[in-house]
Chain A
Amino acid sequence: MISGMDAIIREHRFFAGLDEPTIQLLAGCARNVVFKPNQYLFRIGEDANEFYLIREGRVALDVVTPGHAAITFQTVGEGEIVGVSWLLPPYKWMHDAHAVDQVRAIGMDAKCLRGKCDADHDVGYEMMRRFLPVLVSRLQATRLQLLDVYGTSA
């Protein structure tokens, strides 16, 4: 465990209100990471071994089709999460993620955390309770994007 990681986790919005034993447990799976502008956090198809809690900066989530420019479908900023594919098999990223500007984040070892969730279902429940609203709000946002409510312009 990196010294002070528990304090960083305690301060992050996503983990607000967690009890001390769980924070200590999470800190054992965490590391500090920094990404330079345009550096990729991960690419589509790679193993979802780590997800990120953004502390500073902004990350763009992109999809790419061969022969076409990438399309950014969401940006994620301070206090938010990058990466949910680590939660469910086959644990593969479904899109790219790159840093828009310099990004400081907490990288959470997904395999480590999955193991701790399996070993202690209270921790697993707590993680699901925090990730589910993120998934639901992203689903709702995606639904709105698909509706293309602003219509077409020339």
Chain B
Amino acid sequence: MLARPSSDPMVPQVARVVASRRELGDVWTLDIDTGAGGFPFQPGQFNMLYAFGIGEAAISISGDPSKAERLVHTIRSVGKVSDALARLKAGDTVGIRGPFGGGWPVAAAEGHDVVIVAGGLGLAPLRPSLYQLMANRDRFGRIVLLCGARSPNDILYRHELEEWRSRLDIDIDVSVDHASPEWHGNVGVVTTLMPRAGFDPARTVAMICGPEIMMRFSAIELENRGVEPERIYLSMERNMKCAIGRCGHCQFSSDFVCKDGPVATWAHLRRLLSLKEI
């Protein structure tokens, strides 16, 4: 349950971890109790999670927006702070600031086909939008989820992907970069799945999250297939510190990713993502 709620966005609220589970070798998911008041957020937003005594890191929210009493974060252990966060267990406390940033355009996608392209851990920030899409299935056209991963052992939320696939009202395809012959799925970069995905480019909204180069190539492929750049959304990742657009750590050209992003259109990002100077 969240304690000491504050209106100051720089002051973390203290919350308790109620569950921790290993997703992949170095990837953990934390369930955090947010109490009766809940923790409303939009799909695609992130929180600053504070490992007390060590530091803060920006982590996307990966749970169901309709279950605001439980905040879910999936964390890859890549440094001191993320490692400390990933090691938190049930009963431990964590500091939370957020939610921050603009999210995925789920409401604006109503009436359209929706193509979601996730690379590696990029499925985590996209999962809240998938929950919303599936909860309101009849408001959308075709829903296509294309997932890329390094190998079959690196597929995030694998059991959940199998559950979603069994719904039969969402098209899910997974491809890994390489595999042993025992793997009976697709092998190749995630963009190779697009020609087989049945969506109408003229009425498609796309949401992409993953490594920047994978997002760039995915957006190019979608645009080549006729999806409007204004309807292709990417989630950017930069070194976020204050999360309110004051410190400048996450500056990306004239944008602050924490405040102006993290989600932005391909029309806006296309040129910027090819500039090595920024």
Contact = CB atoms under 8 A, between A and B. Distances in A.
Interface in A56-103: 58, 60-62, 69-75, 77-79, 98, 100-101
A49 to B, nearest CB: 24
B186 interface: yes
B178 A153 contact: no
Contact of A147 (B27, B185, B192, B213): B213
A84 to B, nearest CB: 15
Interface in A95-146: 98, 100-101, 137, 140-141, 144-145
B214 interface: yes
B179 to A, nearest CB: 5
Contacts of A70: 180-181
B120 interface: yes
A149 B213 contact: yes
B154 A150 contact: yes
Nearest to A80: B195
Interface residues of B, number: 33
Interface stretch (B29-37, B134-142, B145-153, B251-259): B145-153
Interface string B175-201: 101111101111111011001100000
Interface residues of A, number: 30
A144 B187 contact: no
B90 interface: no
B181 A77 contact: no
A149 B190 CA distance: 11
B183 A150 contact: no
A121 to B, nearest CB: 29
Contacts of A75: 175, 185-188
Given A153-B24, A153-B150, A148 B177 contact: yes
B119 interface: yes
B189 A145 contact: yes
B196 A145 contact: no
Nearest to B122: A150
- B25, B120, B180, B188 interface centre (most CB from chain A within 10 Å): B188
23 contacts: A70-B181, A72-B179, A72-B180, A73-B178, A74-B187, A77-B186, A79-B196, A140-B217, A141-B189, A144-B189, A144-B191, A144-B213, A145-B177, A145-B178, A150-B120, A150-B148, A150-B150, A150-B177, A150-B214, A153-B26, A153-B27, A153-B154, A154-B24
Interface of A: 58, 60-62, 69-75, 77-79, 98, 100-101, 137, 140-141, 144-145, 147-154
Interface of B: 24-27, 119-120, 148-150, 153-154, 175, 177-181, 183-189, 191-192, 195-196, 210-211, 213-214, 217
